[in-house]
Amino acid sequence: MIYFLRIIEVINQFILSIMTFKYIINSNQSAFNKLFDFIRRYTFFMLIEVDKSLF
């Protein structure tokens, strides 16, 4: 379970780095925003599921 939390942490760092890169290149924002909104919701949902299984 700790490994799983670590994986989520790495994924979130990866998302943040891509988002900063997105602002640097300033490309198609609507497609990027849809993608990252989906990923953020999914990782948040996974964190909630992990909390339920831990406690």
What is the tens place of the pLDDT at every residue in 21-42? 766 666 566 777 777 778 787 7
40 lies in some domain: yes
Distance CA 53, CA 10 (A): 20
49 lies in some domain: yes
Q: Strand, helix or coil at 26?
A: coil
Domain holding 31, by residue range, is 1-8+26-55
16 lies in some domain: no
Q: What is the pTM of this model?
A: 0.37
Confidence band for 52, pLDDT divided at 50, 70 and 90: low
User: pLDDT higher for 22 or 4?
Assistant: 4
The structural domain count of the chain equals: 1
User: pLDDT higher for 12 or 46?
Assistant: 12
19 lies in some domain: no
30 lies in some domain: yes
Q: Quick one: which of 2, 3, 7 has its CA closest to 43?
A: 7
CA distances, 16 to each of 1, 28, 44, 52, 53 (Å): 23, 17, 14, 26, 26
Average pLDDT over residues 8-25: 77
What is the pLDDT at residue 29? Answer: 65
